[in-house]
Amino acid sequence: MTIRHHLSDQLLMAYSAGDLPEGFALVIATHLSLCDECRARAGAFDAVGGAVVEDGFCSMSDGSLEACLSRIDGLSQITPRPRQAKGIIPAPLVDYIGGGLADVKWRPLGFGAKQAILRMSDRGASVRLLSIPGGSAMPEHSHRGTELTLVLQGAFRDETDRFGPGDIEVADDNLEHTPVAEEGQTCICLAATEAPLRFNRLIPRLAQPFFRI
């Protein structure tokens, strides 16, 4: 797998610091499970954060250590089994889906396209799996905030470039595009958005509340 589109340092630092909504963190964790380069950079940011804590720049209130140790003692001693990827579904996604690709609960969007909205514990970003038949296009749209789109299978092109397996596109309110799935294999993506998309045409706008896009 050759990955050409990576995460910015800003997003990786926010992920390392735990400052992102669960939906964005899930997409980034999934990308990191596929991308050696971004995983190494994220590890470097984790190391910097650990050094800052070790040097005492982050203060703790009295009794914090004792409270933490007490909570650890109360945890189960059973070691959880590490999650494993299932086919094209990377390990971080398996629990959210409940298995592999065959376990995804798809809902039709029309013209062969499907989506599955994933449940998040916070409302900072909505997350969905998208399945777009080869040769099909998503309606032209722009954004009201940040959108992260990670390709798991197939590929798509838009006005900026081509995105294949493992690639991640970071879109903001400056980007207006029409993603088109490449001919052949169905394009399956994991996408997180912090606000509804802004569609240019009437019919997608009318359908938007029903599909929660």
Q: Where are the domains of the chain?
A: 1-213
Span 85-136, pLDDT tens digits = 899 999 999 999 999 999 999 999 888 999 999 999 988 899 999 999 999 9
- Which of 143, 87, 86, 136 has its CA nearest to residue 113? 136
Task: Give pLDDT, residue 139.
Answer: 84
Unique residue bearing structure tokens 């390990």: 91
- Which of 157, 154, 153, 148 has its CA nearest to residue 193? 148
Range 11-26 average pLDDT = 95
Task: Give pLDDT, residue 74.
Answer: 60
pTM: 0.82
pLDDT averaged over every residue in the chain? 86
CATH superfamily of 1-213: Jelly Rolls (2.60.120.10)
